[in-house]
Amino acid sequence: MTPNRWSDLDRPPLNETALRRALVTGDSLWTQLEVAESIGSTNTELAERARRGDAAPGAVLIAEEQTAGKGRLDRSWTAPPRSGLFFSVLLSPEPPPQRWGWLPLLAGVAAAGALARAAGADTGLKWPNDVLTTGEGGERKIGGILAERVGADSVVLGIGLNVTLRQDELPVPTAGSLALAGARGTDRDPLLRAVLRALADWYARWTAADGDPTASTLLETYAAGCVTLGRTVRATLPGGDELVGEAVAVDGDGRLIIASEQGVQHPVAAGDIVHLRPATGE
């Protein structure tokens, strides 16, 4: 008999009722929560619901499986059912739109910090939108973040995190999972609660500071956890041009500052690059 892909005992389903009870409370950022068995893309679906008026700010949409998950620049994101956390949230930010570019970085800080605490994993951030595990096995990408504008006043923020992927299930050699990194906890329910609570906490700090990354300590915290800084990198730009230099800082707009060998500092935004890789050892 062919094994049912939903019957893996090592990958139990999320408890929607318990998650809603824990996260959708009177004083919470989160206003509604749904766990779907299978969905194309949580970002696409939640954005469509928002446009129809079927989702309010604070909505959380989680998928046990994404059949058309996507990352930055429409790259695909694939993982077996129930092997990770794949979800999107709908936000209506109060700070000015020119500061909304900090939202993916904010989500990275929240996710990396929550996983370090809840799963006991060594985590880091690769600019602009990757969550990594770091340690004896080297750096491996376990998560990605995608923010998409919806109308004039809303943003859908999507997060995908690999939790129990096994070695033979990794989509690319540079990928990883919490389980492969030796995390002490891979129960998805407490991990999801931790990530969403951390996201709400950082969002509240950022909002209280009117989106100012310095006043909210977001810039300082992001820089402390960003493994990209201090390394020589190669940024591939649209059209095939390349920029090589040391990643020296993240500026107040969330851009990466790359210093060339000539000492010229070039700020690049996430939308300005196709790939960012180490300049050597590729």
SS3 18: helix
Q: How confident is the model at residue 170 (pLDDT cuts 50, 70, 90)?
A: very high
Q: What pLDDT digit, counting tens, does each position of 100-123 carry?
A: 999 999 999 999 999 999 999 999
Residues of the chain with CATH 3.30.930.10: 16-224
pLDDT band at 2 (very low <50, low <70, confident <90, very high): very low
CATH of range 228-278; options 3.40.50.1220, 3.30.470.20, 2.30.30.100, 2.60.40.1730: 2.30.30.100
What is the pTM assigned to this prediction? 0.93
Q: At what angle do helices 218-225 and 188-208 cross, to 10 degrees?
A: 140
> How many angstroms separate the Cα of 94 from the Cα of each of 85, 97, 146, 215?
27, 8, 19, 16
- Taking the CB of residue 277, how many other CB atoms lie within 10 A of it? 13
pLDDT in tens, 66-96: 998 665 545 566 789 999 999 999 999 999 9
Sign (positive or negative) of CA dihedral 188, 180, 234, 109: positive
Length reported for the chain: 282
The CATH code of domain 16-224 reads 3.30.930.10
Residue pLDDT, tens place only, 38-52: 999 999 999 999 999
CB 214 within 8 A of CB 252: yes
Share of the chain above pLDDT 90, in %: 84
**Within the chain, which residue ranges are assigned CATH 2.30.30.100?**
228-278
The count of other CB atoms within 10 Å of the CB of residue 42 is 26
